[in-house]
Amino acid sequence: MSILLNSESRVLVQGMTGSEGTFHTQQMIEFGTNVVAGVSPGKGGSQHLGRPVFDSVAEAVIATGATVSGVFVPPAFAADAIMEAAAAGLQLVVCITELIPVNDMIRARAYLSSRGARLVGPNCPGLMSPGERSKVGIIPNQNGRPGPVGVVSRSGTLTYEIMQSLAAAGFGQSTAVGIGGDPVLGLSFSDVLELFATDPKTELVVMAGEIGGSDEERAAELIGRGYPKPVVGFISGRTAPPGKRMGHAGAIISGNTGSAASKVAALERAGVEVADTIEQIVERVTARLRRG
Amino acid sequence: MKLLEHQAKAQFRSEGIECPMGRVARTPGEAESAARELGEVVVKAQVPIGGRGKAGGVKVARTPEEARAAASQILQMEIRGYRVPAVLLEELLDIGRELYLGVTLDRDRRRLAVLLSFAGGMEIEDVAERTPEKIAKLWPDPFSGPLPFEIRQLTLNALASAQGEQILERSRLLNLMVPLVQRLYQLCQRLDATLCEINPLVITRSGQLIAGDGKVEVDQNAEYRHQDLVRELGGDAEAASSGDDQLEVEARRRGLTYVHLGGDVGVIGNGAGLVMNTLDLVKQQGGSPANFLDIGGGAKAEVVRQALEMVLLDPEVKGIFVNIFGGITRGDEVAKGLIQARDELQIKLPLVVRMTGTREEEGRRLLEEAGITPAVSASEAARRVVEMVAGASR
């Protein structure tokens, strides 16, 4: 098992014929993902990477029974693509695109909530369930290894690092989810933690947060109320000054909210072990899982 | 992009939000003739930051001569590092009461929030901290915008915690607030703003609602849709960024994601989270990071060179730590880029490179052959660069 994505998932890629879409769809297929279609308005009827291309998500869903969408379209069109996927009845939409205007995302997010569809991202690396040979997004294939650790992170490269370091120590992942670095996101840490809680394959969760917003604090509240699995926490941006955007649009301490200190304190209050370095994450995971 | 007050107010007016009569002046002479038209005025420095009143950037002038003198003074000021490109002269308002009205991004709710408070005129962050009950909030559906009954309820909620004299009859206040809030919300959406704020929102003795000040921040990701505003900022743009960190201004010009932090260890990495973590590692090892610089995914040699060049513009930098996690990026390519850049830019400072991932061994061998310190572990690399920098400054 895994969360959100498994070997049954039938994936379509919006923007598959673009250069990013092409490269990453190839990688997804190599990983074993069941990619069933691409969507590029105006290119319907053609074939790309051995998959049929459709003009609209609705057409692709009818023809292929797709259940999940990966969105690789440019920022100006991404929010519309997300809403199109939800309107066509897809239950999971994964948006990789960075630099989407915030107000576009506010609308897309409201639209999805009203239709019960889940969104991962945007500005995220997507997700990967190695034991199910399925990924949607850009997590490098070589970093996936089946195992008992659920990984949820706001950052891309940091997710890969954590996955690789854990794998080197012998721990693979049930599912790794990059929820994204934007201020307005789909799934939050809490949402993903709730999914991991009931996944039988996930024995422990590594949660890697960063400065900005208060999703980590909300997650700490959830864990504090009683969480069935051990959680190892990690917060980056401890040296970030207030008011400066640290690369991610969402990584900014504004006023009194979003500091690393506040997040670390909230997690520790909830009984989460917070690691200072990636090496420490591995040590804590090792201690927890070896202890049984 | 932050609009200056006069630009924000021009936007307010175009949406039908009432503002005081005003004129922009760039010289004392212009200020004097504006005051001849307007009568008694307040002369306000046009800078993209708060606290200008305390800094002496707002003055009342009773006569055109006074307006000229005030403008002459203010135009020569530097307010918290920002030059003043212009002053805004506005008619004096007969202030009865000051409110706060803002539309701003609420990350937790993933929506724009409308905030209304009768504790206007103060920084809303201070009100939020000390007396949060004095701020009424509304999170409209982004497709419908705030509905009239929601705005009335918002107003009633704000009134419930308001103290002191009410200038307006409740029915008139409710009637005035509905279109005002709708217009401000619409403006926020139209401009792709993450903040549209009226503070103070003045209730005049004669019962009008007028925007005393205006703050608008346009989402950086949406600036491509608002080239007209970017152009309008035109000549003021340079002054508007004059108080910003000049290294950051230069980095923006070069299109790099860079934040100046003031220490002496230059940091370059790929991925925002990874770079933030790299800064933390430097600090943990007792060092002080000079900057944040994210070169993003799939970095090519040229990007690596530009990044090194940028970091070296900071005279405080005594050593550089490059932290690359190779996914799609190949270690050998990054190594080649680094070596080439070091030779071209003749970098003599300690350079520690930690790379892992695809083709890391080839990359490390290339670096070693070129005399650049490679490392596998990021903590180890951080320790080494901090030591080398400490050694170099002794």
Continuous segment of H or E residues that includes residue A55: none
B52-83 tens-digit pLDDT? 999 999 999 999 999 999 999 999 999 988 99
Domain at B246-392, CATH from 3.30.930.10, 3.40.50.720, 1.20.120.1770, 3.40.50.261: 3.40.50.261
Q: Which two tokens stand for residue B351?
A: 């350079």
Continuous segment of H or E residues that includes residue B130: helix B124-130
Instruction: Give, rounded to a whole angstrom, the gap between the first and last alpha carbons of chain A.
Output: 20
For an interface test with A, the pick among B276, B358, B380 (most A C-beta atoms closer than 10 Å) comes out as B276
Residues 6+ apart with CB under 8 A from B319: B264, B265, B266, B349, B350, B351, B352, B385, B386, B388, B389, B392
Min Cα separation B103/chain A (Å): 12
* CA-based nearest residue to A75, from A108, A46, A43: A108
Token pair 């995914």 in the structure block, residue: B297
The answer to whether the B95-233 and B246-392 domains have the same CATH topology is no
Report CB contact under 8 Å: A181, B378.
no
Q: Which CATH architecture has domain A11-120?
A: 3-Layer(aba) Sandwich (3.40)
Q: Name the residues of B annotated as catalytic.
A: 100, 197
By Cβ distance, the residue of B221, B297, B377 closest to A75 is B221
Q: What span, in angstroms and rounded, lies between the C-alpha atoms of A31 and B307?
A: 33
Continuous segment of H or E residues that includes residue B160: helix B148-160
Report CB contact under 8 Å: A214, B107.
yes
Report CB contact under 8 Å: A240, B110.
no
User: What is the value of pTM for the model shown?
Assistant: 0.94
What would the mean pLDDT of B18-37 be, rounded to a whole number?
97
pLDDT at B337: 85
How confident is residue B313, by pLDDT bands cut at 50, 70 and 90? very high
Q: Which two tokens stand for residue B92?
A: 């004096």
pLDDT at B305: 86
Report CB contact under 8 Å: B221, A76.
no
Give me the phi and psi of A98, to 5 degrees please.
-105, 160
Nearest residue on chain A to B225, judged by CA atoms? Answer: A76
Min Cα separation B324/chain A (Å): 9
Amino acid letter at B38? Answer: L
Contacts of A110 in chain B (CB under 8 A): 110-111, 141-143
* CA-based nearest residue to B45, from B1, B13, B11, B79: B79
pLDDT at B360: 82
By Cβ distance, the residue of B105, B141, B272 closest to A247 is B272
Helix (H, G, I), strand (E, B) or coil at B88: strand
Q: For the domain B95-233, what is the CATH code? A: 3.30.470.20
Report CB contact under 8 Å: A140, B261.
no
Q: Where are the domains of chain B?
A: 21-92, 95-233, 246-392
By Cβ distance, the residue of A107, A245, A277 closest to B142 is A107
Taking one residue from A and the other from B, the number of pairs with CB-CB distance under 8 angstroms is 161
Q: What span, in angstroms and rounded, lies between the C-alpha atoms of B29 and B48?
A: 23
A247 HSE (CA, 13 A, CB side) = 31
Contacts of B81 in chain A (CB under 8 A): none
What would the mean pLDDT of B327-351 be, rounded to a whole number?
84
Contact B331, B360 (CB under 8 A): yes
Q: What topology does CATH give the domain A139-291?
A: Rossmann fold (3.40.50)
Classify strands B95-106 and B193-204 as parallel, antiparallel or unpaired.
antiparallel
B117-135 tens-digit pLDDT? 998 777 777 888 888 888 9
Q: What span, in angstroms and rounded, lies between the C-alpha atoms of A234 and A91?
A: 29
B176-219 tens-digit pLDDT? 999 999 999 999 999 999 999 999 999 999 999 999 999 999 99
Residue B329 has pLDDT above 80, yes or no: no
Contacts of B328 in chain A (CB under 8 A): 138, 140
Residue A97 has pLDDT above 90, yes or no: yes
Report CB contact under 8 Å: B192, A244.
no
A255-291 tens-digit pLDDT? 778 999 999 999 999 999 999 999 999 999 999 998 6
Report CB contact under 8 Å: B143, A160.
no
* CA-based nearest residue to B62, from B83, B82, B85, B32: B32
Continuous segment of H or E residues that includes residue B174: helix B170-190
Contacts of B189 in chain A (CB under 8 A): 103
Min Cα separation A41/chain B (Å): 22
* CA-based nearest residue to B333, from B356, B309, B307, B362: B362
Q: What span, in angstroms and rounded, lies between the C-alpha atoms of B388 and B265?
A: 10
By Cβ distance, the residue of B111, B289, B358 closest to A110 is B111
What would the mean pLDDT of A132-146 be, rounded to a whole number?
94
Where along chain A do the CATH 3.40.50.261 domains lie? 139-291
What would the mean pLDDT of B292-315 be, rounded to a whole number?
86
Could you give the dihedral angle defined by the CA atoms of residues A93, A94, A95 and A101, in that order, rounded to the nearest 10 degrees?
50
Q: Which two tokens stand for residue B154?
A: 């918002």
pLDDT at A6: 95
Min Cα separation A221/chain B (Å): 14
Q: Which two tokens stand for residue B326?
A: 């190779």
B232-255 tens-digit pLDDT? 776 677 777 888 899 999 999 888
Would the ipTM clear 0.90, i.e. be above it?
yes
- Of residues A291 and A238, more confidence is placed in A238
pLDDT at B393: 62
Contact A150, A196 (CB under 8 A): yes
DSSP code, position B359:
T
Contacts of A157 in chain B (CB under 8 A): 269-271, 273-274, 297, 325, 327
Nearest residue on chain B to A164, judged by CA atoms? Answer: B357
Report CB contact under 8 Å: B222, A213.
no
Q: What topology does CATH give the domain B21-92?
A: Dna Ligase; domain 1 (3.30.1490)
pLDDT at B328: 64
Amino acid letter at A280? Answer: Q
Contact A137, A124 (CB under 8 A): yes
Contacts of B358 in chain A (CB under 8 A): 140, 142
Q: What span, in angstroms and rounded, lies between the C-alpha atoms of B239 and A267?
A: 43
pLDDT at B299: 63
Nearest residue on chain A to B274, judged by CA atoms? Answer: A158
Residues 6+ apart with CB under 8 A from B87: B24, B25, B26, B31, B43, B44, B45, B46, B70, B71, B74, B75
How confident is residue A74, by pLDDT bands cut at 50, 70 and 90? very high
pLDDT at B359: 80
